[in-house]
């Protein structure tokens, strides 16, 4: 009696498996795999029914079981091989998708940086000389004898133009950091930190083993933007009193460790709502690097970035040629 119950359960399970495989045939374009599984499970159900009949005393030839077992084995074996090829194909498509996404993101970032650089150059070369000419004209006017009221107007106008020139230089540098382009990542980061520390009551400590090393433009620009984004987030949102970042090169790998003593947050919530963290993750992903962040409320935050520069690092001659394009 127990054997009959088990045979009925086995038939039910194999019928359910066949129905599920039939749904996969309709839902996907890889029909041959699931058709083979449907045939195999259906024949297994038939075999269990025949065994149930034999258990009830009905005569069933032995050769029938042998042939049926061979057909089932062939169907399921071929189905497993096709399934293996299917999963390999899906994995290859997924790798290609990730590669294309990375290339698209890299192209978008390059286009963005080119736009920033072009706009910065237009500001510097177009508006800059006009403001400088206006300042020179005002300086010439202040040398002449003027009444106090006129002199005050000239001084105020000169002050406004000086502020405009200073703001223009700052905007131009933010769009396309000249220190980064001319002297490399370490000097560019240090220059940004010096300016940020001068405007905020926060202690920023920067350590690095980089000197004059240069890397591919994408690596330098993206890491520079990421560091600026992390510092700006800490200054604007963390209410911190100290920031420490360490940038080091270990063989072909660039490592950035960043910490602040601010109010902290839930990393996943911040990734979802903004604060630039998802943008940082996308930029690092475009370099094939890793970005990990850890934070708890009241305990500050810590970020770790790893980027392999082995393929991006260029010899000096090619590096200069690429930058001069």
Q: Is residue 271 part of a domain?
A: yes
136/185 Cα distance (integer angstroms): 36
| CA distances (Å), origin 52, targets 169, 257, 322 | 89, 68, 77
CATH number at residue 184: 3.30.565.10
**Whether residue 201 sits in one domain with residue 93:** no
pLDDT at 322: 45
Domain boundary among 103, 127, 155: 103
Which residues sit opposite 206 in a β-bridge?
A: 245
In the chain, DSSP assigns E strands to 203-208, 242-250, 253-260, 290-295, 301-308
305: nearest Cα among 288, 325, 322, 318: 288
Per the structure, the complete domain to which residue 24 belongs is given by 2-103
Q: Is residue 149 part of a domain?
A: no
pLDDT at 60: 64
> What average pLDDT does the structure give for the chain?
76
pLDDT at 208 over 80: yes
Under 8 Å between Cβ of 208 and 247: yes
**Whether residue 193 sits in one domain with residue 285:** yes
Phi and psi at residue 287, in whole multiples of 5°? -95, 0
Domain boundary among 63, 80, 103: 103
Under 8 Å between Cβ of 277 and 230: no
pTM score, whole prediction: 0.59
Q: Is residue 130 part of a domain?
A: no
Element (H, E) at 173: helix 148-175
Buried b (16+ CB within 10 A) or exposed e, 94-117: eeeeeeeeeeeebeebeeebeebb
**Whether residue 188 sits in one domain with residue 320:** yes
28/47 Cα distance (integer angstroms): 28
313/311 Cα distance (integer angstroms): 6
**Whether residue 184 sits in one domain with residue 50:** no
Across 227-236, average pLDDT: 89
Which value, to the nearest 10 degrees, does the dihedral of the CA atoms of residues 14, 17, 22, 28 take? Answer: -150
- How many domains are contained in the chain? 2
Which residues sit opposite 306 in a β-bridge?
A: 255, 290
**Whether residue 229 sits in one domain with residue 95:** no
Percent of the chain with pLDDT over 70: 71
Q: Is the dihedral of CA 258, 262, 268, 270 positive or negative?
A: negative
**Whether residue 302 sits in one domain with residue 183:** yes
232/218 Cα distance (integer angstroms): 21
Q: Which of 45-59, 105-119, 168-182, 246-260 has the highest mean pLDDT?
A: 246-260
Is 301 in a helix, a strand, or coil? strand
Q: Is residue 144 part of a domain?
A: no
Domain boundary among 103, 125, 150: 103
Q: Is residue 125 part of a domain?
A: no
Q: Is residue 244 part of a domain?
A: yes
193: nearest Cα among 246, 239, 237: 246
**Whether residue 216 sits in one domain with residue 73:** no
**Whether residue 215 sits in one domain with residue 84:** no
pLDDT at 28 over 70: no
pLDDT digits (tens, 9 = 90+) for 42-81: 777 777 777 666 666 676 677 766 777 777 777 777 777 8
117: nearest Cα among 187, 191, 177, 183: 177
Q: Would you give the end-to-end CA distance of the chain in angstroms?
A: 85
**Whether residue 319 sits in one domain with residue 226:** yes
**Whether residue 307 sits in one domain with residue 213:** yes
Q: Is residue 155 part of a domain?
A: no
**Whether residue 194 sits in one domain with residue 88:** no
Q: Is residue 146 part of a domain?
A: no
Q: Note the Cα 217 to chain centre separation in Å.
A: 17
**Whether residue 198 sits in one domain with residue 320:** yes
pLDDT at 101: 74
């Amino acid at each position: 009696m127990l054997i009959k119950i088990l045979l009925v359960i086995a038939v039910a399970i194999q019928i359910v498996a066949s129905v599920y495989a039939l749904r996969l045939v309709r839902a996907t374009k890889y029909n041959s795999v699931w058709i083979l599984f449907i045939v195999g499970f259906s024949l297994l159900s038939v075999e269990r029914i025949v065994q149930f009949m034999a258990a009830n005393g009905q005569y069933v030839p032995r050769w029938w079981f042998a042939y049926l077992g061979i057909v089932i084995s062939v169907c399921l074996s071929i189905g497993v091989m096709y399934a293996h090829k299917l999963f390999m194909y899906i994995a290859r498509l997924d790798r290609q998708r990730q590669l294309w996404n990375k290339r698209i993101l890299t192209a978008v970032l390059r286009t963005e940086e080119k736009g920033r650089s072009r706009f910065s150059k237009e500001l510097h070369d177009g508006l800059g000389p006009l403001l400088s000419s206006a300042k020179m004209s005002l300086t010439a006017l202040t040398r002449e004898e003027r009444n106090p009221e006129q002199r005050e107007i000239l001084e105020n106008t000169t002050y406004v133009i000086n502020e405009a020139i200073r703001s223009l230089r700052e905007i131009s540098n933010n769009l396309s950091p000249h220190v980064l382009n001319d002297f490399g990542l370490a000097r560019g980061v240090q220059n940004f930190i010096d300016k940020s520390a001068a405007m905020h009551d926060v202690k920023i400590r920067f350590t690095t083993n980089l000197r004059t090393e240069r890397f591919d433009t994408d690596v330098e620009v993206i890491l520079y933007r990421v560091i600026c984004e992390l510092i700006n987030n800490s200054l604007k949102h963390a209410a911190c009193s100290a920031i420490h970042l360490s940038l080091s090169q270990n063989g072909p790998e660039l490592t950035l460790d960043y910490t602040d003593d601010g109010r902290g947050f839930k990393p996943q919530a911040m990734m979802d709502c903004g604060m630039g963290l998802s943008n940082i993750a996308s930029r690092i992903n475009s370099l094939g690097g890793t970005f990990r962040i850890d934070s708890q409320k009241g305990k500050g935050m810590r970020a770790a970035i790893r980027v392999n520069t082995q393929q991006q690092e260029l010899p000096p001659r090619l590096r200069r040629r690429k930058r001069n394009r």
